[in-house]
């Protein structure tokens, strides 16, 4: 079975949707950030703070490759930056993967992230005004990488269940 990879900007719902999709289709899911945290025995915040982002990107690449090389069927929820570093975007178009970009608007991302910043070191210290501007710029910079996905599923104004159904229909 091909591995299902969910990607997209912070807050688009990768971790949330991976969990519900997993229940819906009976395929186990791995959240890449949680997998890194377990392997490193450290939180994402602590890794950024103590070792820096470049070190995190190395761990992230290693963890992604490790999961792709395993023979287990799985849904992988990436981190928002995963496709944008270490040529990881080239791994989104492999033969054994189905990659899905969960595409959200700046407003949707802002609404969700303004309530959930503390565990995301890239935005934790930003005011609402700074956050909105940051998302707009950063999403623009990253879109090239997100658009490498084999499939795109828009998520604005959809419930978790609706997005899961849309993914299932897209991959059918």
Q: Which of residues 122-161 bind ligand S3P (CB under 6 A)?
A: 122
Tell me the H-state helices in the chain. 14-25, 32-40, 44-51, 53-69, 106-113, 128-146, 160-171
Out of 15, 43, 114, 150, the only residue in the binding site for ligand S3P (CB under 6 A) is 15
d(CA 1, CA 73): 6
83 binds ligand ADP (CB under 6 A): no
Candidates 163, 149, 137, 31; CA nearest to 99 is: 149
d(CA 52, CA 161): 36
**Nearer CB in complex with ligand S3P: 95/141:** 141
107 binds ligand ADP (CB under 6 A): no
Which listed range, 18-26, 92-100, 116-124, 148-156, lies at the site for ligand S3P (CB under 6 A)?
A: 116-124
Contact set with ligand S3P (CB under 6 A): 10, 14-15, 33, 44, 79-81, 120-122
């Amino acid at each position: 079975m091909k591995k299902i990879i969910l990607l997209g900007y912070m807050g688009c719902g990768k971790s949330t949707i991976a969990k519900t999709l997993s229940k819906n289709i009976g395929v186990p899911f791995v959240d890449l950030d949680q997998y890194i945290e377990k392997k490193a025995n450290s939180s994402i915040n602590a890794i950024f703070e103590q070792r820096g982002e470049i070190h995190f990107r190395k761990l992230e690449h290693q963890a992604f490759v490790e999961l792709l090389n395993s023979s287990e069927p799985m849904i992988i929820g990436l981190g928002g930056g995963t496709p944008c570093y270490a040529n990881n975007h080239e791994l989104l178009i492999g033969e054994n993967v189905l990659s899905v970009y969960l595409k959200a608007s700046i407003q949707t991302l802002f609404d969700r992230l303004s309530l959930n910043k503390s565990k995301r070191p890239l935005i934790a210290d930003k005011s609402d005004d700074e956050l909105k501007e940051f998302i707009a710029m950063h999403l623009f910079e990253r879109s090239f990488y997100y658009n490498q996905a084999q499939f795109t599923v828009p998520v604005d104004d959809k419930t978790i269940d609706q997005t899961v159904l849309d993914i299932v229909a897209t991959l059918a």
